[in-house]
Structure 1
């Protein structure tokens, strides 16, 4: 991202007045270090934590390799996809699964604030949280004995590792 985009995200986050954890890699900003304005740090000191790294699995399951971990954790997301499978994951989270929203490529602080407030405070945000929790329950059910993921893994073990063809 550009330095301007970083600042826009920062002030949108600050203006939302919600508590946050923001993981910012040192190489996040194109061509320079990711440095936030001191005013932002002062404004958010009592409700924000900024880190260069975290165990995403621990944060999202308060189960990251991406949107699947947010789903398993029952977490709503705001997506800003750029490359790889991010566009597909964003589409699935926002359109197919219904627990995410996508921010415009031309990020502006007012839009960031509006989206955060919608996600955290609005009826639409509550509905997205309900869908996220439904997907979480579905994921949990699938790994229990008799669940679809449990049975598929057992089938792989039987057919590939133990070389015993199953009848199903």
Structure 2
């Protein structure tokens, strides 16, 4: 991400009218650019005082599970995508490389839980996308589908009869059986 893209995202967030938490890693910017938080203009910091918070080390999973979270701005790496789905949070997708484009396609087209920012990062686009996800008809449908994916994940992993739980129990049984045979 370039420092200009960071500034455009920042102003898009500021102009959308919603309070936000922005987890900004210092290695977020392209090599050669200043630390991410140092790049934000003083006007942005002043304009968002009281409505925005920026953190460098917050737990993404814990933040996503908070009931106040309305949308997850993500590059759509596999871990981020799974954390967004398991939290039932719609995603605003901005992929860079590798599997991120594929994950974005699934989030936006196949699963219906995401909306892509696009290559041309402008504050107006970021603001419009956030407003749609947070308050528009498409955003409500994304939230409904995101909650369905969350429920599906809970059933598959934690409830008796769920496939993932059954597979884990089967694995544990096999390991314990093999271990007891070795001991005998």
TM-score w.r.t. the length of structure 2 is: 0.83
Aligned to 2:142: 128
Which has the higher mean CA deviation after the structures are superposed, 31-40 or 110-119?
Answer: 31-40
Aligned to 1:52: 56
- Cα distance in 2 for partners of 1:150, 1:27 equals 36
Question: Is residue 32 from structure 1 mapped to residue 33 from structure 2 by the alignment?
Answer: yes
Runs of at least 5 residues in structure 1 that lack an aligned partner in the other structure: none
- Cα distance in 1 for partners of 2:63, 2:98 equals 23
Aligned to 1:149: 164
Q: 1:43 aligns with which of 42, 47, 66?
A: 47
SS in structure 2 at match of 1:104: coil
Aligned to 2:116: 102
Residue 153 of structure 1: how far off its partner (Å): 1.4
Question: Is residue 87 from structure 1 mapped to residue 86 from structure 2 by the alignment?
Answer: no
Aligned to 1:21: 21
Aligned length: 163
TM-score w.r.t. the length of structure 1 is: 0.90
Q: Over aligned residues, Cα RMSD in angstroms?
A: 1.7
SS in structure 1 at match of 2:85: helix
- Cα distance in 1 for partners of 2:92, 2:8 equals 15
SS in structure 1 at match of 2:79: coil
Residue 78 of structure 1: how far off its partner (Å): 0.5
Runs of at least 5 residues in structure 2 that lack an aligned partner in the other structure: 67-77, 180-184
Residue 96 of structure 1: how far off its partner (Å): 1.3
Residue 155 of structure 1: how far off its partner (Å): 2.4
CA deviations on 1:34-63 (whole Å, 9 max, x unpaired) are 22011111111111101112111100111x
Question: Is residue 69 from structure 1 mapped to residue 70 from structure 2 by the alignment?
Answer: no
